[in-house]
Structure 1
Amino acid sequence: MRFGFRDFAVAGALLATASHAQCPSYTTYSQTPHDPRSSGPLALPYMRPDPACRTFNSTAVEKVIEDLKARLKDPDLARLFENTFPNTLDTTVKYFNTTENLAFIITGDISAQWLRDTANQFAHYHSLLSVDPKLATLVKAVINNEARYVSEYPYCGAFQPPPESGLPPTHNDWADGVTVNPPVNNQTVFECKYELDSLCGFLKLSRSYYQATKDTSFMNANWHSAVDQIFRVINEQSQPTFDDDFNFISFYNWTGGGGALSPQVNNRGNNEPKAFTGMVGTHHRPSDDLSTFAFLTPANAMLSVELAHLADVLDDARQAKNVSRFARQWSRTIHDAILNSTILNNVFAYETNGFGGRYVMDDANVPSLLSLPYLGFLDKNNAAYVATRKLLLSNKNPYFSAGKTFRGIGGPHVDPWHPWPMSQISAIFGTDNDEEIVGSLYLIANNTNGLGLIHESQSIYNSTDYTRSWFAWANSYFAEMILDLADRKPGLILKENKSYKPGRG
């Protein structure tokens, strides 16, 4: 019998469905250590699912794992990388159809696709897209699925499976009792908190795909419609709360309360008033928590960076010159507004409102102030960043906490005494100081509760008290950081002081 490409795709999906039906839930699997153990002092377990239970396979990813296992000095770090680098592909690809150009990616133990999480879950694979066409096809399918979401619901950040998948929608108890205006369809939307960084995530995934492949085929009608909707949100949410005649301006509101995880949003779901600054307002943070003031500095920094990249991509592809022009204008406007309205005494505020209100803190979730160099907004030696970083990693940040075995930045999403390992990863991206890097690296490695995966948060009082054993974004971010060190600081972690870059040997 002769099979075409589509036949193989469908047959493969059917075989995968039958095989995965026999596989244990990774939510359960990730809570128990599995052999073999690493040979280092931590004896970390091997946490990859059986090959038959993995949701996607990439030969390029497997090669990077073998490369790093052979090069890393510390067998415990090697095991952490081996567990975390493939975690997104091993566990979160719930649906992928090449013919439909659609893929549905879950965050880990929550069966929904977050725009922000997905962009970060795939960030460490970008350099492999040019050498692994199958992986590139998957990412293109993710972009197309998300373009459809953003086109219809640009204010929403988390979504249900596409109807073509046949996967049932997941009921979100935390969305019960929530009123969203404009209304949304919960068969498509999992949660509709407006988080500016979610739109940035979509732009990041898009431009990273293009930078790696130079393939313009993802720029279809869905994608251009999504980009148009992003500019709609930028224009709407940069406006002040009142016009000159004190007419109230509202394009979106989300009440919260009821069964929602987040508290009720004040001012009838519109949050705190804001004045015009040139920045773009948001209702919720990357943590899914309610913002205190509308202008979230790190989300705006990421938006400024990604709009500049969008313009570069469109110009290089010779498409949508008018959109490219708007992107550059907004990128400059937002960049200048951040520098002019968020820095006081050489310290960035996390949130501002345009009336002089400032909230000096940081949250572990990226984009964060600590991650500004990672985002590409500024150099890690920038004087304001250095001063801000020092404050954030101290008790002057209300969401910094420290115990005998772990310390870092957390946020109200869990509680103040559960800092997130993600904050220590951001700290590594933000310094060239070897001692600080090694200190942060081993704070992370020593706090997996013996499970060899990167968790959401970790108690400073009890090493066995953590949240989310399966959190794909955190695993990807850790692996991305190891690859960054292998290139930027090879002598710290590799047997030879020779830079390693994936896909180049």
Structure 2
Amino acid sequence: MKDNRSNDLLKDFLGEIREKAADFPELLEIFENCYNNTLNTTVRRMEDGTTHVITGDIPAMWLRDSAAQLRPYIFPAKNNEEIRELIAGLVRRQFFYICIDGYANAFNEKPDGSCWEKDDPDQDPWVWERKFEIDSLCYPIQLAYLLWKNTGCITQFDESFQKGAKRILEIFHTEQYHEENSSYRFRRQNSYFQDTLSRDGRGALVKSGTGLIWSGFRPSDDACTYGYLIPSNMFAVVVLGYLEEIEREYWKDPELEKEAGRLKEQVYRAVEKEGKTLTEEFGMIYAYETDGFGMYNLMDDANVPSLLAMDYLGYPAEKETKENTRRFLLSSANPYYFKGKKASGIGSPHTPSDYIWHIAMAVEGLTEASRERKIEILKNMADTTAGKKVMHEGFCCEDDSRYTREWFSWANAMYSELFLDVFGYRLKK
């Protein structure tokens, strides 16, 4: 939109929120900054009726980020047709992009060849970056489903949705046998090691036939150490269930419904069998990554999907293993858990050591049972903006004036979502 139309679109909803949050003026001020910022600065309605959403300080649209950015607006969309259509337009654009290249993670507003790096001489001019990440294909299904379930909107279910859904299932099946069946390669010259894939673009060797889906990159856009990224496979289980229901209830396509259901069960069994490992200190926990041969990467990353986000995503985790994993994640045993005088929380190898991410703090709050603890985390987020009163990517746990990304819309959306959760706004999943 790139104007102040959010003030008109959100007027009634924000009035409702101001009444409920009157006792928390500082938190409310930051919420309004974050909530208005996305609509005012990152959203553009296109002539074809779709919606293009840039990530913030990078002029491209990530499939993942754009879905997360507009998710908190599903609440006012229940009673506001224009916001409903704004979100539905994003879903239509996401599936338009998936039909162009199902392996790409980020796209241009127009086919002008803009890109982070020219990684492939045959790269489509619509594609900003072609890093294959499972979550890039999960988020558009999630957003389409949540919009439908919470508002009744169905305009997102156009022919591109069906075509894209079939393409997603095809890619997931292919990447269960990455070594034998996949032609996907990613090579970035003269870059950091986490920005490219080993073995001439194939990535680290994984065992085929486990039932898990291979991913080249994490939601951080960093290369996976081991190709089976467990949080992303968990997310796939959830959205395949969503797709199964969409095909049954809306499209009436029994073949696609069955295919989604079979794949969901296959991946779920694989996560529960291959994605766990026994630790001496915490007992059985979920691993962040595995190769299927018995090697595990025990950590978490701030970006969603993460292990910390299991409940937030709706994954049906085994209770004791989930609790053990959470204890591990929020401890110094997790190599990306940092604690300092300003805050404690999970960071990422994508940013410097001792940098905590506001996204991870929001996820921790959204997965807490106690409202008091949720408020405590929300206040800590508000106190670590270096006076900017909007969220950042990562900030130093000792000094929040040291941070990455001045303008990061996904983080603003996550603060907004936790704020809304504190005051009783929760999506039907």
Correspondence 1:254-293 to 2 at 5 A: 254-258=186-190, 262-275=194-207, 276-293=209-226
Whole-Å separation in 1 of the counterparts to 2:181 and 2:248: 34
Whether the 8 Å contact between 1:405 and 1:463 is mirrored in structure 2 is: yes
Q: Within the alignment, does 1:238 sit opposite 2:176 as a pair?
A: yes
Q: Percent identity?
A: 28
Going from structure 1 to structure 2, the CA distance change for 1:441 and 1:217 (only over 3 Å counts) comes to closer
Correspondence 1:308-319 to 2 at 5 A: 308-319=241-252
Whether the 8 Å contact between 1:60 and 1:131 is mirrored in structure 2 is: no
SS at match of 2:163: helix
Larger Rg: 1
Whether the 8 Å contact between 1:256 and 1:262 is mirrored in structure 2 is: no
Whole-Å separation in 1 of the counterparts to 2:337 and 2:53: 31
Task: Give the CA deviation at 1:318.
Answer: 4.1
Whole-Å separation in 2 of the counterparts to 1:501 and 1:462: 33
Aligned to 2:387: 450
C-alpha deviations, 1:140-171, integer Å up to 9, x for none? 221221111101200001000135xxxxx474
Whole-Å separation in 2 of the counterparts to 1:468 and 1:261: 22
Whether the 8 Å contact between 1:240 and 1:273 is mirrored in structure 2 is: no
Whether the 8 Å contact between 1:145 and 1:162 is mirrored in structure 2 is: no
SS at match of 1:370: coil
Task: Give the CA deviation at 1:61.
Answer: 2.6
> What amino acid sits opposite 1:308 in the alignment?
G
Which of the residues 175, 180, 183 maps onto 2:117? 175
Correspondence 1:94-105 to 2 at 5 A: 94-97=44-47, 100-105=48-53
> What amino acid sits opposite 2:13 in the alignment?
V
Q: Within the alignment, does 1:129 sit opposite 2:77 as a pair?
A: yes
Task: Give the CA deviation at 1:240.
Answer: 5.1
SS at match of 1:63: helix
Which of the residues 383, 399, 402 maps onto 2:339? 402
Task: Give the CA deviation at 1:62.
Answer: 2.5
Task: Give the CA deviation at 1:134.
Answer: 0.8
Correspondence 1:86-485 to 2 at 5 A: 86-97=36-47, 100-162=48-110, 169=112, 171-172=114-115, 174-176=116-118, 178-179=119-120, 183-185=122-124, 187-239=125-177, 241=179, 248-258=180-190, 262-275=194-207, 276-345=209-278, 346-378=284-316, 382-434=319-371, 436-485=373-422
Q: What is the TM-score when the length of structure 2 is the normalising length?
A: 0.92
Going from structure 1 to structure 2, the CA distance change for 1:216 and 1:66 (only over 3 Å counts) comes to closer
User: How many pairs are equivalent?
Assistant: 420
Aligned to 2:281: none
Whole-Å separation in 1 of the counterparts to 2:301 and 2:37: 24
> What amino acid sits opposite 2:243 in the alignment?
L
C-alpha deviations, 1:451-486, integer Å up to 9, x for none? 111110001232210111211111111111111121
| Mean Cα deviation higher: 434-443 or 72-81 | 434-443
Going from structure 1 to structure 2, the CA distance change for 1:110 and 1:240 (only over 3 Å counts) comes to closer
SS at match of 2:164: helix
Going from structure 1 to structure 2, the CA distance change for 1:314 and 1:108 (only over 3 Å counts) comes to same
Task: Give the CA deviation at 1:424.
Answer: 1.1
Whole-Å separation in 2 of the counterparts to 1:353 and 1:80: 42
> What amino acid sits opposite 2:210 in the alignment?
T
Whole-Å separation in 2 of the counterparts to 1:347 and 1:464: 35
Which of the residues 15, 22, 29 maps onto 1:79? 29
> What amino acid sits opposite 1:222 in the alignment?
S
Task: Give the CA deviation at 1:439.
Answer: 3.4
Whether the 8 Å contact between 1:83 and 1:453 is mirrored in structure 2 is: yes
- Structure 1 gap segments, 5+ residues each: 1-15, 21-52, 164-168, 242-247, 488-499
Moved over 4 A (4+): 259-262
Whether the 8 Å contact between 1:400 and 1:416 is mirrored in structure 2 is: no
C-alpha deviations, 1:310-340, integer Å up to 9, x for none? 1112211143221111111111111111111
Whether the 8 Å contact between 1:156 and 1:192 is mirrored in structure 2 is: yes
Aligned to 1:57: 6
Task: Give the CA deviation at 1:203.
Answer: 0.7
Whole-Å separation in 1 of the counterparts to 2:300 and 2:120: 29
| Mean Cα deviation higher: 344-353 or 60-69 | 60-69
Task: Give the CA deviation at 1:60.
Answer: 5.5
